[in-house]
Amino acid sequence: MIATIKFNSKTFRIDLTQPLDISIPLKGGASNINAWYLDSPEIKPHQEDGFIGKVSEGAPVNFNDVFFNPHSHVTHTECLGHITKAFNSINQNLNTYFFLTEVITVAPEKQGDDFVISDKQLRYALGNKKRDALVIRTIPNLETKRSVDYSNTNPPYLLQEATKYLVDKGINHLLIDLPSVDREKDDGKLLSHKAFWDVDGQPRKSATITEFIYVPNTVEDGCYFLNLQVAPFENDASPSRPVLYKPLD
């Protein structure tokens, strides 16, 4: 099935039968991705008054309880409500779902004890391209990204200057294969989050950050259309399923 999309007066065609899913699914147990010092998520049959919600245990249906945190356990999309006193819901603030997107691959640079993504690297990768969204794949890009526990590992992150550059470039939706755009332990400064949403200026309510994606090595750098769907949670963040489509033209 071929769909036609217009962006900035230019027409693109995409094949809806060729999706490239860059989400990491939620599964119960220690093999699930994790961060922020939480226990593993749980998916288990509901039990109550002798009832066990599992067909193999005699129940008519499988009826599982799911315990997880979207920031720690799954690909998720967050809005500025993640860092504001006032409640802001991703379900209310994200209301369009297709975006012209650039996929780039970046090798974080050593800076002191950290590995960081700089504005210089992003300038080189993006050049004069105009995009709504940006997908950042970091290297090394191993399959273990789907199951690693990032707690107390000081993962790479974006420098504040890099995030400001993306805002100036008009990037409204930032997707990255790391647990956060900020340093794991930064005393609550959250410099990149604050810069991206401009919380001290004119807050960008429609802008989103998606963390914990995984971009397979078979997906080439370049231009795509992104379909960004979130579960309808009235929360600052929600599990999400970002899907890429390569333009045919």
Candidate from 2-16, 62-76, 101-115 with smallest mean pLDDT: 2-16
pTM, to two decimals: 0.96
- In the predicted model, is pLDDT for residue 8 greater than 90? no
**Which tens digit of pLDDT belongs to each residue from 83-110?**
999 999 999 999 999 999 999 999 999 9
Average predicted confidence (pLDDT) for the chain: 96
CA angle 88, 92, 98 (to 5 degrees): 125
**Which tens digit of pLDDT belongs to each residue from 48-72?**
999 999 999 999 999 999 999 999 9
Percentages helix, strand, coil for the chain (3-state, rounded to 5) are 15, 35, 50
- pLDDT at residue 22 in the model: 98
Specify whether the CB–CB gap between 226 and 133 falls below 8 A. yes
Q: Which residue has 């899907």 as its token pair?
A: 243
Domain-by-domain residue ranges, the chain?
Answer: 2-23+74-245, 26-73
- pLDDT at residue 6 in the model: 81
Identify the burial level of 90 via C-beta atoms within 10 angstroms of its C-beta, where 0-12 means exposed, 13-18 middle and 19 or more buried. buried
The model's confidence at residue 10, banded by pLDDT at 50, 70 and 90, is confident
Q: What is the DSSP string of 123-168?
A: HHHHTT---SEEEEEESS--GGGGT-B-TTS---EE-HHHHHHHHH
Mean pLDDT of 133-159: 97
- In the predicted model, is pLDDT for residue 5 greater than 90? no
Candidate from 6-20, 94-108, 200-214 with smallest mean pLDDT: 6-20
Greatest C-alpha distance within the chain: 63
* CATH number belonging to the domain at 2-23+74-245, selected among 3.90.600.10, 3.30.70.1900, 3.50.30.50, 3.40.50.1370: 3.50.30.50
